[in-house]
Structure 1
Amino acid sequence: MNTTINEYNNNFISHIIDHDLKKQKKMFFHTRFPPEPNGYLHIGHAKSICLNFELAKIYQGKCNLRFDDTNPIKENIKYINAIKYDITWLGYQKYQNIHYASEYFEIFYQYAKKLIKKGLAYVDELTKEEIHKYRGTLKKPGINSPYRNRSIEENITLFKKMKNGEFAEGKASLRAKINMNSACIIMRDPVLYRIIFCQHHQTKKKWCIYPMYDFAHCISDAIEKITHSLCTLEFQDNKNLYNWILKNINTPHRPKQYEFSRLNLEYSILSKRKLKILVEKKIVSGWDDPRMPTLSGMRRRGYTPSSIKEFCKNIGITKQNNLIELSMLEYSIRNELNKTAIRTMAILDPIKIYLYNLNENHEEVLIIPKHPYNDKLGTQKIFFTKILYIERNDFQEKYNNQYKKLKIGCEIRLRYAYIIKAEKIKKDKNENIIYIICSCNLKTLGKKPIDKKNPSVIHWISVKYSFPAQFRLYEPLFNIKSLDKKEDFLLNLNSQSLVTKKGFIEKNIAKKIHKKIIQNNIKLFFQFERIGYFCTDIDTLQRNYLIFNRTVSLRDTWNEKNKKIINN
C-alpha cells in the first residue's frame, strides 16, 4: 500500500512525532503492537496494527510485536500463532521484532522489590472482592487496607513467599501504595502482582506470581526503548499509573503514551471476550467464521489485506469516538474486487427452462470476457443448450406491470446469448412450477431487436454443463447498529446472518477452480453476475461440490426497519 501524505502522515499522532523528532534530533522512532494472546485479532486490532507499522515505515523506525502474556489462565499458543499469521498476512512481517512480556519477568520482579524498598508497594491479604469494595467510587473515596502500613522488611519477606508459592491463589497480592483518595480510581493502590498457579506457555512452571498489565506494559516499553506508546482511549486514565511506575522505578528510558479512538463498527462486536462467547456457545462455527469481525473470519469471507488496510487508512486517526458505517468496510473490498474479480454466471436457486424450438442436441460454445473492462484477464467458454437453469426469482407467474423479468408472453435476453420468450409453464400436482417452456430467437445473438426496446437481461447456465455448488450468503451477525456497551448482546442476534443456497456454476469453470484449490490451496474470487462477489471456501476440499462464500453484494442496504439486507 502506498501511504499517502493525507492519512498516516497527517494526523495528530504524526504531528506529535514530527515535533518530537525535531526537538530531539537523535531520536529513533520506535513503537509497538502489544496484543494479549487470549483470542484472535479482529478488525479493531487492524486499525492499531496499520497505524503502528505504517508509522514505523514512514519514519524509518521499528515496530515491535510484543505479546502481553501475563495471564496464563486465558492465553494459548494457538492464539500466538494466529496473531503472527494475521500480521504476516497483512504484510508487516518485515517490520516485526517479536517479544514477549514474559521475557522480562525477572526484571519486573526486581522492579517490584524496588518499589517495596521505597515504601511504595505492600503485600495485601484482602480478597479480590474486598479490594474492589475498599476502592470506593467516583463520589466516594477509598478506604486504606488494614495491611497497608506493614514494614518494608515484612513486605519483602511476604513478597518472596508469594513468589515461592507459600500463599494460596487469591490469598495475597502486591499493591502500589499511592493514594486511596485520588480522584483517579486507578491510582487508588492498584494491584501490581497476583498469584496464579497455572503453567505458562513460555516460562512453564517457573513463576506463580504474574504482573498486572499496567505494571508490565510500561516497563516493557521502557526495556524495549519504545519512544511512542500508542493505545486506544480507554487507557487514558491508565497513563497516570504508567507514568507513576516509570518515575518511581527510575528507568533509564522513559517512553510516552498517546491515545487515539478505538474502532467501533456498525452491527459488530469488537471484544475478544464477547467474541469468545459466540465461539463457545457455537453461535458461530469458530473464530474464522466469515460472519466474525476477526481477521481470520474476514480472510475466509474474502477480504484481502489491501482492502482492510485501505479501510483503516480511510477511517483516519482521531481522538473522537464514533461508529463507523459498515458500508465503508464493504466499499473497500467491493471497490477492489470490481477491478480484479473474474465475471461468470452462477445459479443459486435454480428452475429449468426448455427452449422448445431447439433440437435435442443443440449445443453452442459462446466465448465471453472474464472481465468487461480488463482485456488482460482474457476470455472463457460457456455452453448454450436446449435446457437451461435460471434463477427462480427471475420468473413470475403472477406479476404487476412493474415486473421487468421473465413472464408469460414477454421477451427477455439471456446474458451473452439470445432473446427468449416465455410461452407456458409446467406444474406438479401441488401447483409448483417444474419448468418454463420458452421459444428462442436464434437471430438475436449479439443483436438488438428491430423496432423494439431492449429487453431486460437475466443470467443462466446450461443444465448439461452445470456443476453443483453451495453458496453461503452472509449478512450482519447482529440486527442493531451499536453493541459496544450491551452485555445482553446475544439478544440482538440476526437469525438470517447465514443463508445457504444449493445451485450450480459452469462445469468447465468448476474443474479449473477445483484443480487450483487442490494444487495451490489458494482462494479464488468471482463476481457472479447480478448476484455479488464470492470467493472459494476451504471446505470445498472435503466435498464433491464447490463452496462459495459471498464476500459482499453488488450493492447492499441494511434495512433497520425490516432487519434484513435488501439486494439491489
Structure 2
Amino acid sequence: MAEENRSFTDESTNLEPESKNFIENFIDEDLKEGKVKEIKTRFPPEPNGYLHIGHAKSILLNYGIAQEYNGTFNLRFDDTNPVKEKTEFVDSIRKDVEWLGADFENRMFFASDYFPIMYEKAVFLIQKGKAFVDDLTAEEIKEYRGDYNTPGKESPYRNRSIEENLRLFTEMKEGKYQDGEKTLRAKIDMASPNINMRDPILYRVSHMSHHNTGDEWCIYPMYDFAHPIEDAVEGISHSLCTLEFEDHRPLYDWVVQECEFPFPPRQIEFAKLYLTNVVTGKRYIKKLVEDKIVDGWDDPRLVTIAALRRRGYTKESLAQFVKLSGISKAQSSSDYSLLEYCIREDLKLKKPRYMAILDPIKLVIDNYE
C-alpha cells in the first residue's frame, strides 16, 4: 500500500515524499534508459463544465510529477467539440487550477491552437494511404464496426484512391458537405479485438461556431486523433490519464507513430478518484444545474472545486485528501469522511477553535440555594 499512497511534494501542500508510485517508477525507467531527457506533463480538461474533486487529483498528480523531476507543466484545453464548450468554463477551470497552486506559468494552450497542424497530419495520413473519406452514416458505421464477439466489415469506400480522398477531404474543409455527410477515418484493422482500432473516425463535418476559432473551421478532429497530436506538438513526455483511456492507448500510439513525430509521448493510466455518496460526474452535475436542482456549479452541496472553495475548503486540505486517497491502477472509492477529516486537520493548524451556543434556552433554577 505504501506505493499507492505516495503523493506530491509542493510548497503549497507541505507533503513529505514517501515511497514512489508506479507512475514515478515508469518515469525513472524512461530517464535511466534515455527515452526522455526532460519531464513534461499537462492537465487537458475539456471546457464543458466546472472541475470537481476528481479533477484535483489529476491536476496535482501532473503538476507534482513535473515539480519532482524539475520539469514543466502545461494547462491545455481540449476544445475539439464546439457544441459543448464555453469561454465561461475556460475561465472557471483556469481559476481552479491556479487556486490549487498548479503553476503553469505562461504555458496555457488550446487544442484549437493546433487545428492547422492536425489538418496537415490528416492530409499526411491520406497521402500515406492510412486514412480515407467515408460516406457511411453514423448508424452504418456503428453497424459495420461489429462488436466484441463479431469482427467488423470494411466500408465500401475504404479503397478510394489517394487522389479522390485528398479531393473529398479538401471539399469537407471548404464546407461543401452537411453535418454527418462524410467523415475521415483511419485505415487500421476492422477485425481488431480492440474496437477502437476498427477504422476510427478522425474528422467529422460540424458547421458550428467555435468559442476560440469562430467560423474558421467546419470540420473538427475527434478527441482520439487530436489528443496525441497535442501531446506530441507540446513535447509532453508522459501523458497521464484515467483508466477509461487504457483501451484507447493503441490508437494513441498509432496516431503518434503514423504521423511520424520524432519524440513520442508515453501514455500511462491511473485510477480515478471516486468519493462515496456524492455526484462527481460532470454530465450529472451539469444536469443538476440545468434542472435547477442546485443553485449553480458552486452550490455548496456539490463537490466541484468552486463549491468546495465556497464552503471554506483550503487547497492544502484537498491536496492532503488526494495524497491519502493514493495513486494506483486499482479502482477504489474514498469515504467522504476522509475529505472532512482533511479540512478539520488543516484548520486546526490555521484557525482558533471556539465553542458557541447558537440557539440558547434560558433556564431558571428555583432551588439553587
Specify the TM-score bucket, using the shorter chain as the normaliser: over 0.9
Deviation at 1:5, TM superposition (A): 2.1
Cα pair 2:232 2:264 within 8 Å, conserved: yes
Among 299, 302, 313, the residue aligned to 1:292: 302
The DSSP-based 3-state class of the residue aligned with 2:209 is: coil
Q: Deviations over 1:216-246 (max 9, x none)?
A: 1101111011111111111001110011111
What residue ranges of structure 1 are gaps of 5+ in the alignment? 356-420, 424-438, 442-568
Supply the distance in 1 between the matched residues of 2:296 and 2:61 (Cα, whole angstroms): 28
Asked whether 1:324 is paired with 2:334, we answer yes
358, 362, 365: which one aligns with 1:353: 362
Mapping of residues 457-472 of structure 1, within 5 Å: none
* 1:130-149 paired onto structure 2 within 5 Å: 130-149=140-159
Conserved 8 A contact 1:260-1:319: yes
Once the two structures are TM-superposed, the CA of residue 124 in structure 1 deviates from its matched residue by: 1.2
Q: 1:11 aligns with which of 7, 10, 21?
A: 21
Q: 1:347 to 1:281 in 2, by over 3 A?
A: farther
Per-residue displacement from partner, 1:453-512 (whole Å, max 9, x unpaired)? xxxxxxxxxxxxxxxxxxxxxxxxxxxxxxxxxxxxxxxxxxxxxxxxxxxxxxxxxxxx
For the Cα contact (< 8 Å) 1:134–1:145, is it kept in 2? yes
1:393 paired residue number: none
Which position in structure 2 is the counterpart of 1:169? 179
CA pair 253-338 structure 1, distance change in 2 beyond 3 A: same
SS in 2 for 1:198: coil
The corresponding residue for 1:63 is 73
Q: C-alpha distance in 2, partners of 1:301/1:50?
A: 20
Equivalent pairs, count: 357
Equivalent position to 2:324, from 314, 323, 333 = 314
Equivalent position SS for 1:342: coil
Q: Residues 89 and 305 of structure 1 are in contact (CA less than 8 Å); yes or no, is this contact kept in structure 2?
A: yes
Q: Does 1:116 align with 2:143?
A: no
> Do the aligned partners of 1:63 and 1:96 also contact (CA within 8 Å) in 2?
no
The equivalent of 1:386 in structure 2 is: none
Alignment match, 1:224 = 234
Q: Which residue of 2 aligns with 1:197?
A: 207
**Structure 2 counterpart of 1:54, from 58, 64, 71:** 64
CA displacement, residues 5-29 of structure 1 (integer Å, 9 cap, x when unaligned)? 216xx10111111121222287011
Partner of 1:244: 254
Tell me the equivalent position of 1:551: none
**Structure 2 CA distance, aligned partners of 1:109 and 1:232?**
27
**Larger-Rg structure:** 1
Residue identity in the other structure for 1:62 = T
Distance in structure 2 (CA, Å) of the matches to 1:241 and 1:284: 39
Cα drift, residue 176 of structure 1: 0.5
**What per-residue deviation string (whole Å, max 9, x for no partner) do you get for residues 255-299 of structure 1?**
111111111111122211111011111111110011111100111
Shift of 1:341: 3.0
Residue 31 of structure 1 aligns with which residue? 41
Aligned twin of 1:83 = 93
- Of 291, 303, 321, the match for 2:313: 303
Q: Aligned partners of 2:368, 2:209: CA distance in 1, in Å? A: 73
Aligned pairs (5 A) from 1:242-281: 242-281=252-291
- Of the three residues 238, 243, 247, the one matched with 1:233 is 243
Q: Is the 8 A contact 1:44 1:270 kept in 2?
A: yes
Rounded to whole Å, the distance in 1 between the matches of 2:239 and 2:162 is 32
Distance (Å, rounded) in 2 between the aligned partners of 1:228 and 1:11: 15
| 1:154 corresponds to | 164
> Equivalent residues in 2 for 1:394-543 (5 A)?
421=365, 423=366
Does the Cα contact within 8 Å between 1:101 and 1:216 map onto a contact in 2? yes
Query: Which whole-Å CA distance do the structure 2 matches of 1:48 and 1:230 have between them?
Result: 8
Amino acid at match of 1:39: G
- CA deviation string 1:508-534 (max 9, x = no partner): xxxxxxxxxxxxxxxxxxxxxxxxxxx
- The alpha-carbon deviation at position 440 of structure 1 amounts to 7.2
Corresponding residue for 1:484?
Answer: none
* 1:125 and 2:139 aligned: no
Deviation at 1:334, TM superposition (A): 1.4
Give the partner amino acid of 1:44: G
Aligned residue for 2:126, secondary structure, equals: helix
For 1:232 and 1:254, how far apart are their aligned partners in 2? 19
**1:11-70 Cα deviation digits (max 9, x unpaired):** 011111112122228701111110000011111110010000011111110011011010
**TM-score normalised by length of structure 1:** 0.61
Aligned equivalents of 1:94, 1:180: Cα separation in 2: 41
2:354 and 2:327 map into 1 onto residues whose CA distance is: 39
Cα distance in 2, alignment partners of residues 261 and 162 from structure 1 = 38
In 2, Cα distance between the equivalents of 1:314 and 1:120? 45
Indicate the SS of the match to 2:269: strand
Decide whether the 8 Å contact of 1:194 with 1:209 is kept in 2: yes
Superposed CA RMSD in Å reads 1.7
Task: Tell me, in whole angstroms, the C-alpha distance in 1 between the residues paired with 2:35 and 2:332.
Answer: 36
The structure richer in strand per residue is 1
Equivalents in 1 of 2:344, 2:14: separation in Å? 19
Structure that is richer in helix per residue: 2
Q: Verify: 1:98 aligned to 2:114, yes or no.
A: no
Residues 173 and 217 in structure 2, CA contact (< 8 A), matched pair in contact too: yes
User: Could you say which residue in structure 1 is the equivalent of 2:344?
Assistant: 334
Does the CA contact (< 8 Å) of 2:30 and 2:36 recur in 1? no
State how far apart, in whole Å, the 1-side matches of 2:292 and 2:223 are: 30
CA–CA distance in 2 between the matches of 1:332 and 1:354?
A: 38
Deviation string 1:375-397 (CA, Å, 9 cap, x unpaired) is xxxxxxxxxxxxxxxxxxxxxxx
Question: What is the CA deviation profile of residues 90-146 of structure 1, one whole-angstrom value per residue up to 9, with x for unaligned ones?
Answer: 112355611111111000001001111111111112222221222111001112222
Taking a change above 3 Å as real, the CA distance of residues 25 and 211 of structure 1, as seen in their structure-2 partners, is closer
Q: TM-score, normalised by structure 2?
A: 0.93
